[in-house]
Structures are given as C-alpha cells and as structure tokens.
Structure 1
C-alpha cells in the first residue's frame, strides 16, 4: 500500500462526474472543495462540458495535463471501474469512490467491488470507500465530501464506517464546539480500512484524539498491533456497533460487514489500550473530555456541589466506575470547616449549600484543587434563586488556569438559567455537561487510558483477536 497522505494533503483533486446541474451530488462536492479554502488545483471531469464553476473541465482522467494526486468518483457504480483503471494508467495512487452500488447491495455489487479491488491492486491504488461520504482535512484545508456543512477545525480525527452517522455527528458537533483535524468516511472498505487510517492519523501532528465508528474489523491481529501502537501516542476511542445478533445482521446489510464476537472485541480493545464507547453520546463525550483537559494523575475524585442529591448520585457513580472518592488532607478539612457554613458537608462530596454564591464556590473549589490527595474535580451546579452561574463559571475557569494539571469537569444541572454559565465553561475548554453521570463516565475512560499508559513498560503476551478472519 502506498502513502495515504495525499488523501489529506493533495496538490490536485479531480471530481469525476462533475456537473453543472445544481441538484447533483458532484455539484455539492465541488462546492465544498471550493468553499473549504482548498489551495490546490481543482479539476472537474465531464466529457460533455468544457468548464464547470469556473474551472477547466476535461473529458477524462487521461486528458488531464500533468500529475494528479487525488480522484473522487461520483459516477454510477457501473462506470467506476473504467475511471479507476484510467487513474491507474495515469499513475494516480489515491481514489475516493463516493458512488454506492457495490457489495452493500448484494451479489452483483459484490462482484463489482471485487473487480474494483483487483484493478486497485494491479495499479497499487489506495481506494477510500466505495459507498462513502468523502474525506476532509481542516488543516490543509480540504472538504472533499458531500457534507451539508464543513466541520469545525480541531484536533479530533473521526473515522466512520457509516456515512449517515458521520453526517449527523458533524452537524451536532458544531453545537458543542467539538472540532476535527481529519474526517474519514471508509464506507465498504474495499482495500483500505479503519486500521490503515488509524495508523495514518496516529502520526498526524494535527490530531490529538482518534475517534472511530466501526461495524466490523476485518484483520484482527493487524488491528491490535496498529491500534495498540497508536494508543501509545494518543487516545483511541471506538464505538463498535452490531453487537447484538440483530445488529450484526443489520451491519451486514448496511456495508456488507462481517460482524464478529462482541466479547472478542471487548477483550481485544482492553488489551490494545483502546477506550470502548458503548453509545454514540459516550463516543463524543469522551472525545470532548480528552481534547479539553489533561489526563488525571490518579483516580481520586473530589466533588463540589450546591445540592446534596446530585452529590449522592455523583458519589455512587464514582464507586460504580471503580474510581475513588478523594480523602482530603486534614488541613483541607480544617480550612473548609472554618470558612464554609456549619451546615455544609466539608468531607467529599463538599456541599456548599443551595444559597452558595460565587465566593463560596470559588473558595471550596480552590481548596480541593490544592489538596495533594485530589486528582480531578467534578463541580456541579443546580439553579437556585441566588445561584450566580456567570460569575461562578468565570471563577471555575480561573481555578483551572491556576491548576492546569488537574481536570475540572462541570455539570450544569439545569436549562436556560445556567446556559450562559455553561457556555463560558465550554468556551474556555472545560468539559461541560448537564448531568454528573456523563462526567464520571468520561473520568473513567481517562483513568483507564492512564492505567494503560502506565502499563506500557510491563511486558505483555501478544493478544489475538479471533474475529472476521
């Protein structure tokens, strides 16, 4: 397999099937490439046109003067093979087949995809797809896809086997401020797959976190080796769908996936240091956590709240996730006793009471952050008549700046009353959620990754993933 880098940093891009018709998918892709600010050469391919969107149009790949780094196939499946062969003859090594109609539709499409792979292997072509949305890199920048809107720039690489999930996720991410370095729609995975792209983004300096949605893994041993190496460099978070019998059958009909044993995946992920998400929301919440705060030095959690009930819920979840409730130093307990109301709970969880204003929150938060027995803090806020969400949020941000080595998770347990304060926390890089369970789940994922990094010096027997061989 040749270098995959030109999928993300091409100097020239051809859109095979480009059209002047505004309702065509290829038109949306051309528009996205142009609007992304791409600085390379854009080449529409259509034998019936001489110009599209102001760019010189060529009748075929063969007619393009000079070299070509990347070709996008947006033609009916029956026409893809001839165009890919043209790419091979011209020396194009990277092709994105956006077209559907391959193995996901049954035997006829499966044979077509087999021929596609045969051509690609003959000419040493990397193919992304078929049946995919496209590819994006916010640092190049390029958006060679049919997404409705460009992704925000950030440091998460998102690899997805499902185009629909990718499209939905990108739209949702803009509402929570989650940005991406690279977005990769792998579709049917004809001759490149999630393993190849995990390996590629693991070496991308613009990527801090690797996030994947997959329905199957086709090469277990190589997956473990590559993902394990990637996890040594940056967190790898995967949501594996198709875990039930019905889900496995649905996965097979969706992208022609072969689903393996869920237990085998679970075991292998743990051995490789991969963080497994068990829902779409958890996948993205973990990505937010890893991009916004440092990995805690240990598993000792302190809780600061203005309400006893949420404190109990958070405490339960800390213990359920095998984290530890921090035991404060005697000096911390004494300072809290002397400076908080006598009705406050000065032990963990610290209850600053429902009438707490900014100064009380600020004092309690800074005190627990200063405690050497605390590795991370969960701060919760419920809306009362005297709660000061905006000023308190500004104080939380300042506390994080004073203690950058200790992550602060915030749970704003309300709606419009707390929205502005929550926005301040999120805008300043704090992982900000509505309920404490989400915060604890993220802390659990970060703690598991911390333990994995700490175990790297110990020799482990090679693991085997016996699925989809």
Structure 2
C-alpha cells in the first residue's frame, strides 16, 4: 500500500530548490507555493537564502522539523545520499524528478537499482525517477514542474510519460475540466501503475481514472487491481506500443499469434478497463464520464436542426449497436404543435434549420420526463436564425437532473465558442462532431454492463487429476526434454478431463494394421509421431479416411517416406492410429505464456485455418465462465457454431468447459510454456468435444 503522505503530506521538502527561474527546482518550488499548500514547506539548497517567501536550508540535516514527503531535483548521487537522511526526519514518501537513471542505460541502470535498494532500506516509497512529479488538487499540492494547476475535480490521471501529463494538464486548464490527481510514473523504479490504481480505488476524491501506459511490469497484479476498482469507478487507459515489442519467438500457433498487445487487450477486457485508442478518445471519454450519469438504458434520441449531422450520428449509433429510441405517441403530441410542417418526427428529430432556442426548449422540455428515452444528443449547426447561447442554456436547464445521459455537438467554431463554454460549465459535454459524442455514449454503455456484471470469479472445473499430469511433466523435465510427444501431451490433457478418439501407437506397418484391426473402427486417421515435427501436414505426415488394412499399410509407407524426404533430420518414432470422428467443426484451443500477464489462452477456428484467417480471441488465465463464453462468441466465425441450413448447433457448453480446463491446467503447471489442441473437434449440442491432436512445450518453472 502507498503511504497517505504521498498525496496528503503535512510537510514537504524540495531538495534542489533553486532561485534560478530556468531550473526545474525553481518551477517545482513555485508550483508548491502557488498551489496554496497548507503544510510546512522546506527548500534545500547549499547556498541557503530565501525563495518565494520561504527560507532555503543549506542541507537536509538543517531542516528544523519533520518531513512527510521529499521531492528530489538533484543529481542521482545526491538523491541516493538524501533518501536515508530525509527518512531519518520521518519521510515516508519520496518523488524523484531527477533524470539520469535507467533511461540512459549503462551506469544509470545500476543507479536506479541503488535507488530502489536505498528506498526499501529506509522504508520509503518512491515515485519516479525521471518523472514530472505529482499534483493533488484536493490537498492543494503541486510538486511538479508543470505549467499551472488544473481546476479541482474528480478525475485522476496517471502516466508513464511526463510529456503526456503536461498535454493533459494543458487540455484540462484550457477546457476548465476539473481533476483530482496527476501522477507521473517516470521509470517506475518503485511505485507502479498498479500501486496508483490500488490507491485510487478507495480515494473519495476520485470518480474517474485515466491512464497512459507503455508497459505494465506486473500484469497479473494490474489485472487484480483493475478487477477491484472497475465495478466502482471507470478506468480508461491509452496503451501505446501496440506492436509485439517484448514478445518472444514461439514455435506453436498460439505463441506466434499471441503478440504482446493481444495480452494487454485481453487483460483490459477481463479487468473491465476501457481502452481508448487515441488521446482524443481519452479526452472525449473523460468528459462524458465526469460530467454525466451512466445511462439507465441504451435508447438514444437525437435532436438536430440539420439533417446531415443527424444522419451521421444515427449511422454511428447503428454501427455501435445503439438503438434509436422510438418517438412515442405522447411525445409526438407534446412537441408537434411547436414544429413547422417540414419538421421530421422520426429519430433523429429534425426541427429544421430555422430553429430558435424556444423550439429546442419545447422539444427538450418534453424529453425531460419521457420514459422511452435514456440518452439525448443535442445537435446544432450555426445558421442565421440560430441562437447558440440560449439553446445551450435551455439544454443545461431542462435536462440537468433529469436522470438522462445528455451530450451536445454544437458544430462549427467561432459562432458556437461561447455556447460550448455554457454547456461545459453546466455539466453537458460538447463534442466538435456528433460521431465522437455517440462513441462516448457507447463506452459509457459498455461500462454500465461491466458494472452490472460485477467482479468475475475463477471457475474450478470438475474431473481433474493433476497428479497424473504431474508425473508426466516431471518425467519429461527429468529427461531434459522441452517438447512433449503427442502421447505425453494427450495424457496430461486426459488428466484434466479431455476426451480423445480411440488411438494406438505403431512403429511398423504390421503393428499399424494390427492396431487398426483391434480398434474395429469404420474409418481411421494416421499421423506421424516425431518430437521434431510440429506441423504434421507440412511434411505429408497425416492420412485421413483409412477404411481397410490395405489403406493402413499403404498410409504407413507413404507417411514415413514423405517425412524422410521433407524432414530428413527428424527422428521418426512411429505413427499414431486414431478412430476418425466425423460431423464436427474444427477449433483450436491454445495457451502461451506472456512475459507480463502469464498464461494467455487462445480460441478460434482450428485446423489449417488458424494461421490463415487469424480469427482468434484471447484471455488471461484463470478465466471465469463468462470470460470463456465471451471468447467463444467474440470470433467472427461464431455464427458457424450455431444452427444454420439444417446443421445442428455445436456443443458450446463443451467448448466453454474445455477453455476452463485449459485455464486451470496452465495455472496449475507453470512448467507448461505452450499448448495447442488443434484441431479440437466440437460435436453437435449435447455430444461434447474430441481433442484430435495436441502438443506442448515445457521448461522448469520460474
């Protein structure tokens, strides 16, 4: 837990306070004083003197009182010397604004390690280094070198980029948007985004949490923190670096597809975090969530004085799955007398370009208590007869306190500038174009569903026998093998309740024929067994639809000959004979380990299509039943699993159960690095699934 003194100190010492206005230490000290911090302020500068009416002390030891929060704007070596000295004066939290640590590489990495060790030894939590600092408007605390302090509000923002902090600050000041806290994380030597998220979860002065991250060091901790806070407060994050930076090369289908950004996207979804694609989206959502109540439902009504913007808003709503509210008979009766004959009473309600404020006022007054409408979007284009300011006042006064979620889009610039300020001051977010307002409503509806669903719980699947899997994994590790054979992989999955078709191993043509005869199946499949061959079809290592002993004998010769020709260095152990199962749909279930988030499950179309179509979904294990259900329905091909053109629906419950089982397996055995069940054949509803082929790679658990 973070100490309360980081945000609510009784006293602050700025080590490196400077009288030179070009120095960062001068800006930090000026902000602290100008913010009106009510506690004790100490400046430390070897030259002594006075700064902004406060004495400067020549050393930390010369400070006459206790210090709760220390702010360092001095070279790294001086920071390391100062931490234990300020800790001796009671410091429980520190902010290291200074650069010259890990970000410069080489010696800077060692300095940052020493910083972390010094802080831990002193019992001090440290924000930074290489950061902008921190602002808490409710504590009148600004220990940053930002330009100005935003109005007091209930939005909190954390950022890995100090420059992004300054941009958001400038936006907040320019738009008069209230903020509670700004936290610049810097290098995250100690305090991380997870620490901040955990603190803000219970912070009464924070209602909306915004974030900018480039990487999350402990993904699983962040996910736990997000799951704790999002049922109570929205968390909106911009994640930069969406390429697969840091992702490792992997030999399986799952590893090659599960880039780093896939893991972040999955974790954000599971944690209830709303991901903003751009800074513009972040700003838009901040306005909506901070100014308006969550929508009670999804029925949107659009009021406009121009057809074009109304159509654009309606199109965006349709694309995002937001239904337009119907215009009820009672609503029609109330607004019809105030509208000209050319007005449209469909939705959008087009009150025509000559609409003055009184026409808007009549329609909005009728909407205030209309039970069939949950959200209202007021559009205005500036024309000769338009009264933007009066229309803005009508929007605020008539819809404030109505319980409806209200947005405005007063299009243009010069003519509507003052009306936008009226809307903002009245708590109605205004967007330059209507599409952005509708996208904000969509995000608020998503969050409403997250909040209603509550926190997901992990599912404990039935019929698992981890001790059987333990033996197989331990034996393979003892033998120094990384890739498990199909027989071993099958045994581990069977221990977790997976069902396979009847099968047998054969290392000669005669043994293959005997195995086929013993199974007594109508049709069989033969596959090569070789630890060096991962993709059997690539080397001609699979034969389907074998219907007699001659077919089996011929298939053995063809497979082994093809493998020797196409993979001459591969050791051929033999072949696997399996009963051929027909009538199902081919899927893939896989798992790979992400460096930040741990086991990452994958689901999608199987067989050879997974790499071609890449129609897959991901979740971080452990998954809840709801997570698993969402994985299944998230892929574009999900309609193919339903009933269509006389085909029975697939056994979706069995698919969900298989995902939960793989989730448990991946959590039980950190030694398993990658896993593919491909294809996983799903049969018609009520008939279950069959794992047809599988493979795993393992390593010693970390």
Please report the TM-score for the alignment, with normalisation by the length of structure 1: 0.92
Q: Partner of 1:449 in structure 2?
A: 447
Residue of structure 1 equivalent to 2:412: 414
Taking the aligned partners of 1:328 and 1:461, their CA distance within structure 2 comes to 44
Does the CA-based 8 Å contact 1:366-1:399 persist in structure 2? yes
State the alpha-carbon separation in 2 of the partners of residues 387 and 22 from structure 1.
49
Structure 2 distance, partners of 1:439, 1:322, is: 14
C-alpha offsets along residues 379-438 of structure 1, whole Å, 9 cap, x if unaligned?
10011111111221111112113x530021000011211222222111111111111011
Question: How far off is 1:109 after superposition?
Answer: 1.1
Q: Is the Cα–Cα contact under 8 Å of residues 333 and 347 in structure 1 kept in the other structure?
A: no
1:323 aligned residue: 322
Deviations 1:420-464 (A, max 9, x none): 2222111111111111011011101110110011111775659x9
Mapped pair 1:468 → 2:596: yes
Deviation, structure 1 residue 208 = 1.5
**Corresponding residue for 2:422?**
424
Q: Deviations over 1:159-189 (max 9, x none)?
A: 1111111112211221211111111111111
Q: Which residue of 2 aligns with 1:176?
A: 175
Partners in 2 of 1:275 and 1:282 — Cα distance?
11
- Conserved 8 A contact 1:344-1:353: yes
| 2:370 corresponding residue in structure 1 | 371
> Which structure would you say has the larger RCO, counting Cα contacts within 8 Å and 6 or more residues apart?
1
Range with bigger deviation, 16-25 or 99-108 = 16-25
Matched residue, 1:219:
218
Q: Which residue of 2 aligns with 1:252?
A: none
- Match of residue 354 from structure 2: 355
Residue 214 of structure 1 contacts residue 240 of structure 1 at CA under 8 Å; is this kept in 2? yes
Comparing 287-296 with 77-86, greater Cα deviation is found at 77-86
C-alpha distance in 1, partners of 2:47/2:456?
63
Q: Does 1:297 align with 2:315?
A: no
1:114 deviation in Å?
A: 0.9
CA contact (8 A) 1:94 1:126 kept: yes
Partners of 1:383 and 1:208 lie apart in 2 by 35
Task: Map residues 132-211 of structure 1 onto 2, 5 A cutoff.
Answer: 132-211=131-210
Larger radius of gyration: 2
Question: RMSD of the TM alignment (CA)?
Answer: 2.1
Q: For each residue in 1:251-279, what CA deviation from the matched residue of structure 2 results, as whole angstroms up to 9, or x when unmatched?
A: xxxxxxxxx71121112112111111111
Q: Would you identify which runs of 4 or more consecutive aligned residues in structure 1 move more than 3 Å?
A: 50-54, 88-91, 245-248, 333-339, 457-462, 464-467
The CA distance in 2 between the partners of 1:268 and 1:465, in whole Å, is 13
Please, which moves more after superposition, 324-333 or 182-191?
A: 324-333
Match of 1:101 in 2: 100
SS of the aligned residue for 2:156 comes to: strand
- SS of the residue aligned with 1:62? helix
Aligned to 1:75: 74
Query: SS at the partner of 2:377?
Result: strand
Query: Structure 1 residue 66: deviation in Å?
Result: 3.5
User: Take 2:21 and 2:365, find their aligned partners in 1: how far apart are those partners?
Assistant: 57
Quote the residue 1:257 is aligned against.
Answer: none
Q: How many residues align?
A: 455
Change beyond 3 A, Cα 1:53–1:337: closer
Deviation at 1:232? Answer: 1.9
> What's 1:38 paired with?
37
Please say if residues 243 and 260 of structure 2, whose CA atoms lie closer than 8 Å, have aligned partners that are also in contact: no
2:437 is equivalent to residue 439 of structure 1: yes
C-alpha spacing 1:347/1:264, structure 2 compared with 1 (3 Å): same
CA-to-partner distance for each residue in 1:76-131, whole Å, 9 max, x for gaps?
Answer: 12322111232344442211000011111112211111111111111221000000
Q: TM-score, normalised by structure 2?
A: 0.62
Q: Distance in 1 between matches of 2:43 and 2:300?
A: 56
Determine the C-alpha separation between the residues in 1 that align with 2:294 and 2:227: 18
Q: Distance in 2 between matches of 1:175 and 1:66?
A: 38
Instruction: Output one character per residue of 1:312-363: Cα deviation in whole Å (capped at 9) or x when no partner.
Output: 1000111112211112323223444454222221011111111111222122
Distance 1:86 1:399, change over 3 A: same
- Structure 1 portions without partners, runs of 5+: 249-259
Q: 1:433 to 1:130 in 2, by over 3 A?
A: same
Instruction: Give the Cα–Cα distance (whole angstroms) in 1 for the partners of residues 26 and 332 of structure 2.
Output: 65
2:299–2:323 contact (8 Å) kept in structure 1: yes
Q: Which moved more, 1:198-207 or 1:305-314?
A: 198-207
Structure 2 residue 272 is the aligned partner of structure 1 residue 273 = yes
